[in-house]
Amino acid sequence: MSDVILSMRGITKTFPGVKALDNVNFDVRQGEIHALVGENGAGKSTLMKVLSGIYPHGDYEGQIIYQGKECRFREIADSEKAGIVIIHQELALIPFLSIAENIFLGNERHSFGVIDWGKTRAEAQKLLETVGLSESPNTLVTDIGVGKQQLVEIAKALSKEVQLLILDEPTATLNENDSDKLLKLLLRFKEQGISSILISHKLNEVERVADSITILRDGKTIETLDCTTGEINEDQIIRGMVGRDLTNRFPRRGAKIGEVILEVRDWTVRHPLHENRTVVDKANLTLRRGEVLGIAGLMGSGRTELAMSLFGQSYGRDITGQAFIRGAQADLSTVNKAIDAGLAYVTEDRKTYGLVLDEDVKNNITLVNLEEVSNSHIIDQNKEIHLANEYRGKFNIKCSNILQKTVNLSGGNQQKVVLSKWLFAGPDILILDEPTRGIDVGAKYEIYVIINKLAEEGKGVIVISSELPEILGLCDRIYVMSEGKVAGELNAAEASQEKIMRYIL
Amino acid sequence: MSSIIKAFKANVRQYGMLIALIVIMLFFEIITQGILLKPLNITNLVLQNSYILIMAIGMLLVIVAGHIDLSVGSICAFIGSTAAVMMVQYHVNAAVTVIACLILGALIGAWQGFWVAYIKIPSFIVTLAGMLVFRGLTLVMLQGLSVGPFPKEFQMISSGFIPDFLGNGEFHLTTMLIAVLFLAAVIFFDIRARRKRIEYGFDVPPFGVFLLRNAGICAAVLFICWLLASYKGLPNVLIILFALTVIYAFITTQTVTGRRIYALGGNEKAAKLSGVKTKRLVLLTFANLGLLSALAGLVFAARLNVATPKAGTGFELDVIAACFIGGASATGGVGTVIGAIIGALVMGVMNNGMSIMGIGIDWQQAIKGMVLLLAVFFDVYNKSKN
Ligand SMILES: Nc1ncnc2c1ncn2[C@@H]1O[C@H](COP(=O)(O)OP(=O)(O)OP(=O)(O)O)[C@@H](O)[C@H]1O
Ligand SMILES: [Mg+2]
């Protein structure tokens, strides 16, 4: 059990302006689940990119010793050949290819260059059974949910005879059920002698499955905790991550709840492609000033669709129903009208809908509200820089400066940029779709504080979240959505995980 | 010294094409034994490339917005022929013709932009259609003939020079005065920008580099203007070009609309969800390119003093190449007006230099193609290194 399969020694990796990794040591033992935790921008993803050859040998300093030999990977193919497979923070499947085709992409079952479809399907079938996914190998990847896509990624990794599986925040986009399935799968792999490295901000999961935990902070290894010898608790991990104690997970609330600010009646949305599919079915909801309203539900239960269709009909077709803002019927037919009506929607998918990745932090923050930083159409650069710096400070965004491109920020810091951008728009009603996805515990707390402050200022906040503890800890009132319908409504006082789950199922 | 080298390395990407342009110019200057930089030739170089430069500015916006326009050459020809028919056959006044043609160009651009933005047909296809349509309409309009010559006022667009208020007829003093005023403005704004950056704690190149750069700019501008001044002074077209460059550089870097075009090209979905009116903006960039293509068509016709059915053939390729050589990204969201101008100048100097050397059009094409490939390679290579 204790023989070391991987040893990374003195790894240092610098980007222009930042030292992302600073003399990091990292050991993984044969057949263990090794969790890698740390704040946003601590260097977790970067370390794994070094390991898997995405940053080739020579791009970093230090040594990688794998199965007793020093390795110098020049590209991903090299590390895969050695049995190291990485599954990225963002999934890398081709949507319009089938599950089987995706599994064997780059590794096709063929003879003389002609694909052997029989073998492809049969082997895919077997792999799908191993990961516990009951879908036909011929199904297109776009037709299955994120949870299942994650399993396809794992099946793909298995097809490469994986020895060391790296998962970068695999459960960030999954609901509890799917996360649970995935973690069980990792435990099963462990029995078969496959080691895994698990990056996650969900410390309860880490605590549950990890044999060792390595904590990174600011690009340095803080410590490696061994969970097999002693009990490790979350507080201990958090202390290592943020360098201090975090006594409360959720800040105190003191907002006064006022009059109704948003009311939605009989909101119905159809699927943009499948005309007969109703994604949101006669949803009703009310939101008051000073209130934090939670929407719970499974992935695909229509939460995001409801939010996006309200926000300038950005999703769906044949949208019917009425929305009242401050008592008056509101026209939300375009994004601009929705913004003018005081609405803001912070997306769950920051790379596709949230950020212009090629642009810098500053330009992303001011994009929605350029009028605010310009005089008669000409941008006042001073004002803009000032403002961007203000948000950088307020949200503690880690970047070398506000002129850094957002594509180079860590996942959590990108999320903070998206949040800043919408706060800068100065909305009255905020819809936050999975606002803490991929965000570390410390930063989560900061975001909760901001949410509470917004509520105290008399704004209405809707939080869509798949993390039930978050919904319970943060919200005054909770709607539960299930299959496009609002299935139930609970007050904070009466709500519990069990009650919510009952409505969901 | 090492800090200067470091700063130089950091700025290679930014100044890379400019340095390449200077190297190419020096190369041809030597190989043509000094003909390239003769006052007459420099003037010609400007006149010969003005229409490509004008269109490159418009094309850059379209490319930044994430699209492409293959029809600009045909629009040039169509507008040229329209102007010719109006002035020569219907004796319409030159000023009226110019205004009508510019409006027509904007409408043509808007028409294509409409198909791209609202009907969602890929711009490659829409403008490929436009390329055929407007070439065809040019033939119809001219009935296969060449139409000209044009009234004097119209020719002045291309063949005129700014009047000299100060000079003695030998040396064009007004040109030098304009150059000096221009440089004063450039240096003033550059110093101001540098102060701002320091104030906000951003990295700035060392003072030596800053000085060197400004000295370089001054030397280059004064030298070129001195060359022009010892011939006939600043051509009218150059003034137009210069105004366009300043205006569009300003629009792209300092205005709300400019910022939104970059956001649109960088991530259309995110821009849309941020309240950017993406469709309208796409239409606008195409209409703008239509307008500039019309202007280029007029300049071209005025220069040749005749409208021919074959005018502007292949311009689209030079224009698009100029943008990419100048650092624009084929996927949108990246590129600068100044870059496109430098890219167009690289192409122009090479055309001119190789013609002087007597290299045939066949080899010229092949060499230009390789330069395009190398320039973009250089760009990609630099990006991957960071
Ligand atoms: N290509 C790059 N260029 C410049 N800086 C980069 C680049 N990639 C990462 N960084 C920087 O390196 C640091 C570490 O980033 P990394 O993505 O490894 O963080 P992380 O620990 O995975 O964070 P998260 O939990 O938010 O995903 C960050 O400060 C980030 O801004
Ligand atoms: Mg990461």
Regarding the beta carbon of A442 and ligand 1, being less than 6 Å apart is answered no
> For residues A461 and A451, is the Cβ–Cβ distance under 8 A?
yes
Q: Which residue has the tokens 């496109």?
A: B340
Regarding the beta carbon of A45 and ligand 1, being less than 6 Å apart is answered yes
Yes or no, beta carbons of A357 and B271 under 8 Å apart: no
Among A497, A503, A452, residue whose Cα is nearest residue A471: A497
Distance from CA of residue A416 to its chain's centroid?
12
Residue A329 CB-density burial (10 A; 0-12 exposed, 13-18 middle, 19+ buried): exposed
- Distance between CA B228 and CA A485 in Å, rounded? 75
Least CB-CB distance to A356: which of B256, B263, B329?
B263
Closest ligand 1 atom, residue A219 Cα? 14
Q: Which residues of A touch B255 (CB under 8 A)?
A: 374, 377-379
Question: 3-class secondary structure for A163-230?
Answer: CEEEEECCCCCCCHHHHHHHHHHHHHHHHCCCEEEEECCCHHHHHHHCCEEEEEECCEEEEEEECCCC
SS3 content of chain B, % helix, strand, coil (to 5): 75, 0, 20
Yes or no, beta carbons of A359 and B266 under 8 Å apart: yes
C-alpha B120 – ligand 2 centre gap (Å): 36
Residues sharing a CB contact under 8 Å with residue A243, sequence separation 6 or more, in sequence order: A217
Residue with CA closest to ligand 1 atom 16: A43
Residue with CA closest to ligand 1 atom 22: A45
Residues sharing a CB contact under 8 Å with residue A502, sequence separation 6 or more, in sequence order: none
Predicted local confidence at residue A275, as pLDDT: 78
Yes or no, beta carbons of A421 and B272 under 8 Å apart: no
- Distance between CA A270 and CA A305 in Å, rounded? 9
Predicted local confidence at residue B167, as pLDDT: 66
Among B178, B350, B326, residue whose Cα is nearest residue B248: B326
- Please, what sign has the CA dihedral across residues B241, B45, B94, B283? negative
Yes or no, beta carbons of B267 and A371 under 8 Å apart: no
CB neighbours of residue B110 within 10 Å: 17
C-alpha A41 – ligand 2 centre gap (Å): 7
Yes or no, beta carbons of A311 and B255 under 8 Å apart: no
Least CB-CB distance to B333: which of A356, A378, A403?
A356
Round the CA-based radius of gyration of chain A to a whole number and report it.
24
One-letter amino acid at A124 equals A
Q: Which residues of A touch B272 (CB under 8 A)?
A: 314, 335
> For residues B199 and A386, is the Cβ–Cβ distance under 8 A?
no
Per-residue pLDDT 10s for chain A (505 aa) are 458 899 999 999 998 778 899 999 999 999 899 999 998 889 999 999 999 999 999 889 999 999 989 999 998 889 988 999 998 877 778 888 899 999 988 888 888 888 888 888 999 999 998 888 888 889 888 888 777 888 898 888 888 888 999 999 888 877 778 888 889 989 998 998 899 999 998 888 898 899 999 999 989 999 898 888 777 788 888 888 887 777 777 887 777 889 999 999 999 999 888 878 888 999 999 999 999 999 998 877 889 999 999 999 888 888 999 999 998 999 999 999 999 999 999 998 888 899 999 999 999 999 999 999 999 899 988 889 989 999 999 888 888 889 899 998 888 889 899 999 999 999 999 999 999 888 888 888 888 988 998 999 999 999 999 888 899 999 999 999 988 899 999 998 888 888 888 888 7
C-alpha distance from residue B210 to each of A67, A317, A373, B205, B253 (Å): 52, 56, 29, 6, 21
Residues sharing a CB contact under 8 Å with residue A292, sequence separation 6 or more, in sequence order: A253, A255, A451, A452, A455, A461, A463, A474, A475, A476
C-alpha distance from residue B11 to each of A352, B4, B35, B213 (Å): 31, 10, 31, 11
* Greatest C-alpha distance within chain B: 68
Predicted local confidence at residue B386, as pLDDT: 53
Yes or no, beta carbons of A363 and B333 under 8 Å apart: no
> For residues B302 and B150, is the Cβ–Cβ distance under 8 A?
yes
Q: Which residues of B touch A385 (CB under 8 A)?
A: 200
SS3 content of chain A, % helix, strand, coil (to 5): 35, 30, 35
- Distance between CA B356 and CA A232 in Å, rounded? 79
Least CB-CB distance to B266: which of A357, A377, A403?
A357
> For residues A137 and A124, is the Cβ–Cβ distance under 8 A?
yes
Predicted local confidence at residue A1, as pLDDT: 43
- Distance between CA A235 and CA A62 in Å, rounded? 32
Regarding the beta carbon of A42 and ligand 1, being less than 6 Å apart is answered yes
| Portion 359-418 of A in contact with B at CB < 8 A | 359, 363, 367-368, 370-371, 374, 377-379, 381-382, 385, 389, 401, 403
Please list all protein residues whose beta carbon sits less than 5 angstroms from ligand 2, which is an ion: A 45, 411
CB neighbours of residue A505 within 10 Å: 9
3-state secondary structure of A58: coil
Closest ligand 1 atom, residue A413 Cα? 26
In DSSP terms, which residues pair with A65 in a beta bridge?
A7, A70
Confirm whether pTM is higher than 0.90.
no
H/E segment holding residue A3: none
Yes or no, beta carbons of A356 and B277 under 8 Å apart: no
> For residues B303 and B158, is the Cβ–Cβ distance under 8 A?
yes
Task: Concatenate the DSSP letters of all residues of B47-70 into one string.
Answer: HHHHHHHHHHHHHHHHHHTT---S
Half-sphere exposure of A14 (CA within 13 A, CB side): 5
A420/B contact by beta carbon, under 8 A: no
Number of helices and strands in chain A (H, E)? 16, 24
- Distance between CA A48 and CA A71 in Å, rounded? 14
Among B337, B171, B157, residue whose Cα is nearest residue B239: B157
Q: Which residues of A touch B386 (CB under 8 A)?
A: 16
DSSP code, position A372:
G
- Distance between CA A406 and CA A346 in Å, rounded? 16
* Greatest C-alpha distance within chain A: 72
Predicted local confidence at residue B98, as pLDDT: 96
Residues sharing a CB contact under 8 Å with residue B119, sequence separation 6 or more, in sequence order: none
Pocket test for ligand 1, best of A15, A49, A200, A416 (most atoms within 8 A of CB): A15
Question: 3-class secondary structure for A120-154?
Answer: HHHHHHHHHHHHCCCCCCCCEHHHCCHHHHHHHHH
Question: 3-class secondary structure for B193-229?
Answer: HHHHHHHCCCCCCCHHHHHHHHHHHHHHHHHHHHHHH
Q: Which residues of B touch A371 (CB under 8 A)?
A: 256
C-alpha A89 – ligand 2 centre gap (Å): 7
End-to-end alpha carbon distance in chain A: 41
Q: What is the DSSP pairing of strand A33-38 with strand A18-29? A: unpaired
Q: Which two tokens stand for residue A292?
A: 């934090």
Task: Concatenate the DSSP letters of all residues of A429-448 into one string.
Answer: EEEEESTTTT--HHHHHHHH
Predicted local confidence at residue B6, as pLDDT: 59
Closest ligand 1 atom, residue A415 Cα? 26
Per-residue pLDDT 10s for chain B (386 aa) are 455 565 556 566 567 788 888 889 999 999 999 888 888 898 888 889 999 999 999 999 999 999 999 999 999 999 999 999 999 999 999 999 999 999 999 999 999 999 999 999 999 999 999 999 999 999 999 998 999 899 999 999 888 888 877 767 778 888 888 889 989 998 998 888 888 878 877 777 788 888 888 898 899 889 888 888 888 888 899 989 999 999 999 999 999 999 999 999 999 999 999 999 999 999 999 999 999 999 999 999 999 999 999 999 989 999 999 999 988 988 899 999 999 999 999 999 998 999 999 988 889 889 988 988 988 888 777 766 65
Ligand nearest to the CA of A440: 1
Q: What is the DSSP pairing of strand A317-325 with strand A328-329? A: antiparallel
Q: How large is the angle between the packed helices A146-159 and A117-131, nearest 10 degrees?
A: 120
> For residues A496 and A472, is the Cβ–Cβ distance under 8 A?
yes
C-alpha A195 – ligand 1 centre gap (Å): 24
Q: How large is the angle between the packed helices B2-31 and B207-229, nearest 10 degrees?
A: 20
Half-sphere exposure of A67 (CA within 13 A, CB side): 12
Q: Which two tokens stand for residue B231?
A: 């011939």
- Distance between CA B138 and CA A91 in Å, rounded? 51
DSSP code, position B90:
S
> For residues A224 and A212, is the Cβ–Cβ distance under 8 A?
yes
Q: Length of chain B in residues, anyone?
A: 386
C-alpha angle with apex A400: A397 to A405, nearest 5 degrees?
A: 80
Among A253, A250, A254, A258, residue whose Cα is nearest residue A460: A258
Predicted local confidence at residue B69, as pLDDT: 96
- Distance between CA A158 and CA A173 in Å, rounded? 21
H/E segment holding residue A367: none
Q: How large is the angle between the packed helices B278-304 and B236-254, nearest 10 degrees?
A: 170
Closest ligand 1 atom, residue A49 Cα? 18
Interface predicted TM-score (ipTM)? 0.82
- Please report the number of interchain residue pairs, chain A to chain B, with beta-carbon separation below 8 angstroms: 78
B120/A contact by beta carbon, under 8 A: no
A345/B contact by beta carbon, under 8 A: yes
- Distance between CA B346 and CA B330 in Å, rounded? 19
